[in-house]
Amino acid sequence: MTDSIKKYLSETPETLTRLLNNSKDLFKEVSHQDIKRIIVTGSGTSYHSGAEMQQLMREKSGILVEAYYPFMITRDLFKSDTSKTLLVGVSQGGSSLTTLDAMKIAKEKGCKIATISADKPAYIDQVADYPLTIDMGRELAGPKTEGYYATKLHLLLLAEYIGLVNGNLNVDQFNNDMNDLKLTFDQFGSAYEKALKWVEDHKTKLASYNNMRIVGPASLYGDVLESTLKLVESCREPVSGFEFNEFIHGIYNAMNENTPVLFMDNGTENRMSKMLQILGKWTDSLYVFDLSDANDGNHMGYGVKVPKQFETFIFPLVFQVMAGVVSKERGIDADIPKDPNFHMEIGSKKYNH
């Protein structure tokens, strides 16, 4: 496993707990604004964070929350009154130019602007009314892992504090969520160790694949997208990710004996057994990851009990570990991009990090 991915995953629970404990002052000003709509935008991992958290953010804040890629942010999105709309621009390195362009459109249309970045000050902060900096420093790894969890936590905390102020959550509900998050973070380490052992035991087989599919339920779709990205950028082979029902619509036609499918199973999809039975006619490379104590070849459980609403802080782990272990097994240093100057050459970021 690449040392950087191992380092950041190992320190993630401590980082998340610290961010949670120090969050009150950071979100105080923005949570007291009159906000009726939140739009989250960012690219890659940043977008996946928003896609994964948007439904939970709706539940906690009691207001409309939407996640969009920056290219989807157009002036037509802001035709009605925008004075109570908060657009959150997310960029882990803080210098995504497409995210900044989307923020400028929203600013021009009268939206309030917040930013989430691990860089301070971030380049995108230039148009921000509320810079919500992730106090963890720059993640100096190729595939980002710790930053994904930290961004998801920041988005959730934004919604929690807004919900507490606007009355959608009472104090007891808010405090219960904070305690449940800490309980989840306390179990992150053991889940990580379980994932690491399983991947190490299966790395030779996993490294032989060159066309993986990742499938998960709607509630983990952002995690499916992020897990897909981690394996693509580290192992540098085609990987595709699908929500369970979307996988049913045509994708199964591309199955053959060489097609591995890796399922996130949080128990919400009652057709999982039937799916495995049908796909088993074409391939035996079917893997299931859940929260049980299972350790049976192609079925691995993380062996943890966490509140269902916060399972997103556990499920991507095995895929992030694969990014570090399987890439190394294939002779790839995932910390060194195929073209280290790509973003500078293509003009997609202000700074090369």
Task: Give the span between the Cα atoms of 177 and 170, in whole angstroms.
Answer: 11
At 352 the pLDDT is 57
Q: Do domains 3-169 and 188-329 have the same CATH topology?
A: yes
**Secondary structure class of 80 (helix, strand, coil):** coil
At 335 the pLDDT is 82
Q: Judge whether 95 and 350 are in contact, CB under 8 Å.
A: yes
Q: Which of 189, 261, 170, 226 is nearest to 14 (CA)?
A: 189
Here the tokens at position 312 are 């997103």
At 351 the pLDDT is 61
Architecture of the CATH domain 188-329: 3-Layer(aba) Sandwich (3.40)
- Which sequence spans correspond to the domains of the chain? 3-169, 188-329
Here the tokens at position 197 are 């052992």
Q: Please state the CATH superfamily assignment of the domain spanning residues 3-169 in this structure.
A: Glucose-6-phosphate isomerase like protein; domain 1 (3.40.50.10490)
Here the tokens at position 50 are 């928003």
At 349 the pLDDT is 61
Please report how the helices 3-21 and 317-329 are oriented relative to each other, as an axis angle in degrees rounded to 10. Answer: 160
Here the tokens at position 149 are 């969890």
At 336 the pLDDT is 80
Q: Judge whether 115 and 80 are in contact, CB under 8 Å.
A: no
At 347 the pLDDT is 67
Give the neighbor-by-neighbor strand order of the sheet with 261-264: 239-243, 212-216, 261-264, 286-290, 299-301, 295-296
Task: Give the span between the Cα atoms of 78 and 315, in whole angstroms.
Answer: 35
pTM, whole model, 2 decimals?
0.95
Mean pLDDT by groups of 10 residues along the chain of 353 residues: 85 98 98 98 97 98 98 96 97 93 97 95 95 90 91 98 98 98 98 97 95 97 98 94 94 89 97 96 96 95 98 98 95 79 64 59
Task: Give the span between the Cα atoms of 324 and 199, in whole angstroms.
Answer: 10
